[in-house]
Amino acid sequence: MTAYIAKRLLGLMPTLLIVGILVFLFVHLLPGDPARLAAGPEATPETVDLVRKDLGLDRSLPEQFVRFALGALRFDFGTSLRTKRPVSTEIAERFMPTFWLTVWSMVWSVTIGMAIGIVSAVYRNRTPDRVGMAFAVSGISFPAFALGMVLMQVFSVQLGWLPTVGNDSWRHYILPSITLGAAVAAIMARFTRSAFVDILGDDYIRTARAKGVDETQVVVKHGLRNALIPIVTMMGLQFGFLLGGSIVVEKVFNWPGLGRLLVDAVDMRDYPVIQALVLLFSLEFILINLIVDVLYGLINPTIRYR
């Protein structure tokens, strides 16, 4: 098991390295001189030169990359151009709101999505299935930002049941996590349905029914366990979707998280913050997929780690 995880981590290294190089090169791909960007529009040429030296932008690219990589390993991404505070501090302050938002969205959307998918598969081509799948295809077609605006208009503005923006209490989490999770719930529902339809036609299900196991047992014990394998893989992929989606949802609900930080940073060309966030988002995504792979083996006894 440990050996397997270590092997997978090693296998990730090339991808991580290339992602790191791309994020590093990002500064040099930006139009204009990064030193001038950092020094500000009114800086004199002398100041720009000083800043260039200070940031190490006068050295060769490989040297700069080593410096960047060593800094990144210590979570040191330099100073935000906008606030002049360390990038790591900016990110640390914003990390938890995004983390909890993503986690809550994942929890409810997977639960509801799988429930709809299972019911649809059991009642295949009958009313519950049609209703469930109509919801699901609507869910993947409604853009998150539009859904968020509609929900806010109805539940916060018209009905006054829930707060509009901010993240001060658990009630603030309801609308943003519904908005963020809706598409994932829809995808999970469609995916669970098709995984279940496949499985419910398998021989061992027929055997279970034939020997008199009751239908709930068949679905939950024999069906669910086997359907979980593809479903867990799908969940890992959807986490990436949630991380990306949080960027949009945080803008709608003025959520003090990483996504809004990123959008503001892109607006202000605050490249140290953009670099750190892009790296962080992709690192999270890569790690989550690794965790999914490990979980995969725990659920599926036919996979043995080598």
Partner 1 sequence: MTAATDFDEARSALGADATGSVRSPSAEFWRKFKQQKVALIAGAFVVLLVVVAIVAPWIVPYDVENFFDYDKLNARPSWQHWMGVDALGRDIFSRILMGARISLAAGFVSVAIGAFIGTILGLLAGYFEGWWDRVIMRFCDVLFAFPGILLAIAIVAILGGGMTNVVFAVAIFSIPTFARLVRGTTLALKHLTFVEAARSLGATDGTIIWRHIFPGTVSAVVVYFSLRIGTSIITAASLSFLGLGAQPPTPEWGAMLNSAQSEMLTAPHAAIFPALAIFFTVLAFNLLGDGLRDALDPKLERR
d(CA 195, CA 178): 24
Residue from 56, 240, 256, 297 that binds partner 1 (CB under 8 A)?
240
DSSP string, the chain: -HHHHHHHHHHHHHHHHHHHHHHHHHHHHSSS-HHHHHH-TT--HHHHHHHHHHHTTTS-HHHHHHHHHHHHHTT---B-TTT-SBHHHHHHHHHHHHHHHHHHHHHHHHHHHHHHHHHHHHTTTSHHHHHHHHHHHHHHHS-HHHHHHHHIIIIIIIS--S--S--SSTHHHHHHHHHHHHHHHHHHHHHHHHHHHHHHTSHHHHHHHHTT--HHHIIIIIIIHHHHHHHHHHHHHHHHHHHHHHHHHHHHTT--SHHHHHHHHHHTT-HHHHHHHHHHHHHHHHHHHHHHHHHHHHH-TT----
**Measured from the CB of residue 120, what is the shortest distance to partner 1 in angstroms?**
12
Q: Find the farthest-apart pair of alpha carbons in the chain and give their distance in angstroms, rounded.
A: 85
What long-range pairs does 221-226 form, CB within 8 A, spacing at least 24? 223/118, 223/196, 223/199, 224/118, 225/299, 226/199, 226/202
> Is 140 a residue that touches partner 1 (CB under 8 A)?
yes
> Is 14 a residue that touches partner 1 (CB under 8 A)?
yes
> Is 77 a residue that touches partner 1 (CB under 8 A)?
no
Q: Which is nearer to partner 1, 92 or 150 (CB)?
A: 150
Q: Which is nearer to partner 1, 96 or 134 (CB)?
A: 134
**Measured from the CB of residue 82, what is the shortest distance to partner 1 in angstroms?**
14
Q: Which is nearer to partner 1, 92 or 146 (CB)?
A: 146
Residue from 1, 6, 9, 30 that binds partner 1 (CB under 8 A)?
30
Binding mask 183-212 for partner 1 (x = CB under 8 A): --------------x---------------
**Measured from the CB of residue 269, what is the shortest distance to partner 1 in angstroms?**
8
Q: Which is nearer to partner 1, 112 or 288 (CB)?
A: 288
Chain residues 149-188 in contact with partner 1, contact rule CB under 8 A: 149-150, 152-153, 157
Stretch binding partner 1 (CB under 8 A), from 70-78, 133-141, 203-211, 226-234: 133-141
Beta bridge partners of 79: 86
> Is 251 a residue that touches partner 1 (CB under 8 A)?
yes
Residue from 112, 218, 219, 274 that binds partner 1 (CB under 8 A)?
274
Q: Which is nearer to partner 1, 31 or 45 (CB)?
A: 31
**Measured from the CB of residue 242, what is the shortest distance to partner 1 in angstroms?**
8
> Is 82 a residue that touches partner 1 (CB under 8 A)?
no
Residue from 29, 73, 159, 210 that binds partner 1 (CB under 8 A)?
29
- Binding residues for partner 1, rule: CB under 8 A, are 14-15, 18-19, 22, 26, 29-31, 124-125, 137-138, 140-146, 149-150, 152-153, 157, 197, 239-245, 247-248, 251-252, 262-263, 266-267, 269, 274, 278, 281-282, 284-286
